[in-house]
Amino acid sequence: MDVTGFSVLTAIIFIPIIAGFVILFLDRKNRDLVRGVAITAASAVLALSLAVFFGYDNYVKQAGGLIDQQMTMLAGGGDLSGARMFVDALAFEQRIVWVESLGIAYHVGVDGVSAPMVLLTGMVAVAGVLISWNIEDRLREFMAFFMFLVAGVYGVFIAVDLFMLFFFYELAIFPMYLLIAGWGWVKLREYAAMKLTLYILVGSVFALVGAVAMYFAAGAFFSGSGAEVFQAAVASGILPADSAPYSWSMVQLTLAAENGAFAIEILGIEGLSFARFWFPFMFIGFGVLAGVFPFHNWSPDGHVAAPTAVSMIHAGVLMKVGAFAALRAGVQLLPDGAQTHLPWIVFLTLINVVYGALIAFRQRDFKYVIGFSSVSHMGLVSMGWATMNLTGMTGAGIQMFSHGAMTALFFGVVGMVYDRAHTRDIPSLGGFMKVMPWVGVAFVIGGLTSMGMPGLSGFIAEFPIFQGMWAASEQISLQLGSFQLSNYYSVIVILSALGIVITAAYVLRVAGQVFFGEFDAEQFHDVGDIAAPDRIVLIILGAPLIILGLYPPIMAPMIESGIRPLIALLGGG
Amino acid sequence: MGEFDLWAQLPSVLPEVGLTALAVIVLFADIYGSIATRRNVVFVSAVGMALLALVPLIWVPDPAQFENGVLLWGGMVNYDPLSQIFKVMLLLSGAVTCLMALGDKGVGDKGEFYLIVIVATLGGLMMSSASDLILVFVALETLSIPLYMLASFRRGDLRSAEGGMKYFLYGAFASAIMLFGFSLLYGFAGTTNLGGIADAMSGGFEGGLVAVMAALVMVVVGFGFKLSAVPFHFWTPDVYEGAPTPVTAFVSVSSKAASFALLVRFLTAVFPPDLAIAGVMIQDFWVNLLVVIAIVSMTLGNVVALRQSNIKRLLAYSSIAQAGYTLIGVAALQGMDDSLAVASVSFYMFMYIFTNLLVFGGVILFITATGKEDIKDLAGLNRRSPWLALFITIGLLSLGGIPPAAGFFGKFFLFQAAVKSNLVGLALIAVANAIIALYYYLVVIKVMYVDVGPDDEIPVGIPRSYAWALGITASIVILLGTIAVTPIYNWAALGASGL
């Protein structure tokens, strides 16, 4: 594939950046122009994201397309190579050498896991701009920072170069800090913004050191014992012709992982390989942003303190950035480490699922309910990664999209209720279905999705995760000294199904109290239905939940095609 | 040595010659010029230094020459890419400092200020290319003495006088210790040439391990003072707070950059990787020494900075921490292929100079406009002057290592160099420190953008000279973090080949 030409993904990154700068220099008083530029940019990006998603869908499904190729490969045509499969899966690529002597390149592309994320980001970007339509305080700065945040998030999803992934990851953090600290809920915003920023940075910089170590280990391998592998990869087109042994390209690092570059023993401790040592840094480092227990603590406070649009993008997209980066830079690049560590990390994800749901059940604040439910649902994503089989990981991929749209919808609903009722205290709300039917219906759709009701996307996501867990139960065991723990994945499935029950309980409780029940006409006399922009938000975020629930083939085969290289790397067929 | 060829040797010192001429012009213009002429001294100085910064770019040393380690001017001067890149940085920082001083009453309106800045820059340039103990010391003092004068430039102000005095006393003490170390080295080797000392010591040296290490430690003490590394940092907060702010900006960048250039050259030339005395690898010793100093500097600088309420003191402690980060790159100078380590130090200094000038420039402007120096006084700056707030923010983000500002690449290169030299533990401590540091940088940004101040509606104007100085430095900081990384990094990496 031609990787030197212009890619639509480049436009997707740079449109929000340019729009952000343009907005910063507009007249502060001209609010319509500010909004106009922001919504134009966001819509353009959404349109391009749709083009990418369906373009990639076609790339995957067409006759002789990616799935056919992968099936041929799995059937024994050609060597089964994870790096090869990963390269083939990439589309819309563009590569420009950035710092040649260090092997850093601007390299973008999407695969089956990131293409749905690109679409999700576009949806939430438009929804975020629309829901912030009437912000009174410094609208111009808000929109500009929001645009920068969107650009950073996009950058992480489409990075093929590991350095670039870090670059955009850190780039996203600063606008997020300012958005929460500047426009968030007054009581909590400074504390929550700082807490969130520091948590996320701590995770990412430790991962960065791990990434640097990987870079050197892979480079030493390719310029030493793996020189032949390197030359063969260049000759067969896996690596571009101008590659050097030392490189940040994730394709090249994947190749190194596959050929045993990270199996070297370090620190002189027997059995402690490079991959085993660094995997926790990479996986949990990024997992912090995905809310992995016990590093989830920033998340509820952060979500509650943030203004609605930022909660939406934060819980909807940014937590997926964490889960995605943990998959890309953790599982994919250090598969040996994944096999060692994920069997115990799965316990953390179980705590996420059950504990998050229990805490959500106990909350009185509407927004905290949603905040903790995010922690619970993101636990399912990490649990899906921990299955290390096609079914479970595909489920986790779908869950990323489904939960993203669903949580963004939830936070949108909370924001709309709070804007009009001026309280988020669940017991004092009631009967809002009558005055805000759109919002009520949207909440019910989201709620049913989060319970995993068939016909909605939550089911399509959660069912394969549990199925994958069950299937993994026989393969995975955990060695604790002389004691071997086996078949425990099935126990974890049963326990985490408990989380679903609790989810149903709190969703129904909230729906019952907020949207049905007694309406206090005196206290909420000025509460009216929502206007057109808010309705568009609910449609953009709610419709995909139903479409995906009724017609899973729109996304599932694509995500499967993105997971297959990982399965090959993890040693499965 | 063959016949002396002036024209072949001149380019190596052309910027210094130019600076001397500029100093003379400024001196005479200030003394004999009319009032209008004197007002233009600042522009003559700034533009003069900026033009001289082009000289090292035009007369590029010939690779065939410097790779063999040819020294010019009787073995006194190195003519290699390392010295060239530092000369460019120092000249540009001098130029920006002049622009920033313009509006400061009692400082920028005096012609001698610019003269002293030029002479100090001259000292820095000499340091970056010196290859002989004698020239090293002369250069160090040519830089230091003007800085003492600058620190106490506002004679009537007690804090300025106190800061200058402290700086002078500490500095003189550190210089004396360093000079003693030099004399020991000369005693061991019988030569003052940096490379010659290593040769003499490796060829069956009988002077004893302890003596060599003592000399090494003494030299490091001297450098530690110039770099404001812990435990030689005590002067830093007082001088930073007391000195006129343009001077603080200048002290924080030029003396640090020149000292790092010299430190890299000194350690690689005098104590090279293959030097073993009595079976002990000297390099292991100084690497460990620098690792300890780096860790202590980063940690102490960052932790104490958390508690500061005065913006200048905050920046003082931050600069101590920044020196600690940069020392990581120096500690990573081991093994034969050290291009990444050298490049990381040069790149970090290159971006640090502009970043710090940017932050200080913004702070100077704020202090001259409002007369207040506390962090809380910055409240609501975004509403008073969005541009100023943006400039300071870019600078702070760069110091904190957040992209797209240059600091991200700077820190990244340093950590990478550390991991390459098997200093993974040091890299992990450094990233932990980067988090602590980000906290207090973010607090300042938050105060500017979120907090509401009492003078919220009074705008802060930006005079034209500042607009230029801040605009140029901010653009450089952003460019160095995005598209200009490659050329500067490659240039910096080239610096290793001449060592």
Mean predicted confidence (pLDDT) in A312-323: 88
Determine, for residues B403 and A171 on separate chains, whether the beta-carbon distance falls below 8 Å: yes
Q: Does the N-terminal peptide bond of residue B61 adopt cis geometry, omega within 30 degrees of 0? A: no
Say how many CA atoms lie within 13 Å of A230 toward its Cβ: 20
The answer, for B382 touching chain A at a CB cutoff of 8 Å, is: yes
pLDDT band at A572 (very low <50, low <70, confident <90, very high): low
- B residues 149-188 closer than 8 Å to A (CB): none
pTM: 0.89
Helix, coil or strand: residue B314: helix
CA distance B87 to B77: 13
CA distance A60 to A62: 6
CA distance B496 to B489: 12
Match 């438009």 to its residue by tokens: A126
Which phi and psi angles does A365 have, rounded to 5°?
A: -80, 125
Closest CA to A396 of A405, A385, A407, A409: A385
Determine, for residues B446 and A193 on separate chains, whether the beta-carbon distance falls below 8 Å: yes
pLDDT of res. A1: 42
Interface with chain B: mutation pick from A13, A197, A212, highest number of B CBs within 10 Å: A212
CA distance A32 to A424: 30
pLDDT tens by residue, A71-106: 777 777 666 788 888 888 888 888 888 888 888 888
Q: Locate the chain B residue with the closest alpha carbon to A168.
A: B403
pLDDT band at A3 (very low <50, low <70, confident <90, very high): low
Match 């040769």 to its residue by tokens: B199
Q: Are A300 and A368 in contact (CB under 8 A)?
A: yes
pLDDT band at A573 (very low <50, low <70, confident <90, very high): very low
Say how many CA atoms lie within 13 Å of A3 toward its Cβ: 22
Out of B415, B424, B446, whose CB is closest to A208?
Answer: B415
Q: Locate the chain A residue with the closest alpha carbon to B424.
A: A209
CA distance B290 to A176: 37
Determine, for residues B490 and A213 on separate chains, whether the beta-carbon distance falls below 8 Å: no
pLDDT of res. B207: 66
Q: Are B251 and B243 in contact (CB under 8 A)?
A: yes
DSSP conformational letter for A161: B
Give me the interface pTM, i.e. the ipTM. Answer: 0.84
H-only helix segments in A262-334: 274-287, 298-305, 308-313, 319-325
User: Given CA atoms A416, A421, A422, A425 in this order, what sign does their dihedral have?
Assistant: negative
pLDDT of res. A439: 86
CA distance A367 to B470: 43
Q: Which residues, 6+ apart, have CB-to-CB distance to B5 below 8 Å? A: none
Q: How far is A154 from chain B (nearest CA, A)?
A: 15
Interface with chain B: mutation pick from A102, A168, A247, A278, highest number of B CBs within 10 Å: A102
Q: Are B305 and B314 in contact (CB under 8 A)?
A: yes
pLDDT tens by residue, A231-255: 888 888 888 888 888 889 898 888 8
Q: Which residues of A touch B424 (CB under 8 A)?
A: 209, 213
CA distance B326 to B321: 9
Q: Print burial letters for A221-260: b (CB count within 10 Å at least 16), e (below 16).
A: bbeeebeebbeebeeeebbbeebbbbbbbbbbbbbbbbbe
Determine, for residues B439 and A194 on separate chains, whether the beta-carbon distance falls below 8 Å: yes
Q: Are A7 and A92 in contact (CB under 8 A)?
A: yes
DSSP conformational letter for B362: H
Out of A101, A167, A178, whose CB is closest to B449?
Answer: A178
Q: Are B424 and A209 in contact (CB under 8 A)?
A: yes
pLDDT tens by residue, A501-511: 899 888 888 88
Per the prediction, chain A carries an average pLDDT of 86
The answer, for B439 touching chain A at a CB cutoff of 8 Å, is: yes
Residue A429 has pLDDT above 50, yes or no: yes
Say how many CA atoms lie within 13 Å of B245 toward its Cβ: 29
pLDDT of res. B304: 93
pLDDT of res. B327: 93
The gap from C-alpha A228 to its chain's centroid, in whole angstroms, comes to: 36
Taking the CB of residue A442, how many other CB atoms lie within 10 A of it?
25
CA distance A469 to A387: 5
DSSP conformational letter for B62: P
Consecutive 10-residue runs of chain B (499 residues): their mean pLDDT?
69 89 91 82 90 87 63 79 90 91 79 92 93 92 93 86 90 92 89 85 74 90 90 88 88 91 90 80 88 94 92 92 93 78 92 93 88 87 85 92 88 89 89 90 87 78 84 92 87 79
pLDDT of res. A147: 93
Side chain identity at B431, as an amino acid letter? V
Determine, for residues B402 and A171 on separate chains, whether the beta-carbon distance falls below 8 Å: yes
pLDDT of res. A81: 81
pLDDT of res. A93: 84
Say how many CA atoms lie within 13 Å of A253 toward its Cβ: 27
Q: Which residues, 6+ apart, have CB-to-CB distance to A370 below 8 Å? A: A303, A315, A360, A407, A410, A411, A414
Closest CA to A533 of A440, A445, A437, A412: A412
Closest CA to A466 of A489, A441, A433, A440: A489
Q: Are A306 and A367 in contact (CB under 8 A)?
A: no
pLDDT tens by residue, A398-427: 999 999 999 999 999 888 888 888 888 888
pLDDT of res. B335: 62
The answer, for B442 touching chain A at a CB cutoff of 8 Å, is: yes
Residue A2 has pLDDT above 50, yes or no: no
pLDDT of res. B189: 84
pLDDT tens by residue, A549-562: 899 888 888 998 88
Taking the CB of residue A114, how many other CB atoms lie within 10 A of it?
30
The answer, for B376 touching chain A at a CB cutoff of 8 Å, is: no
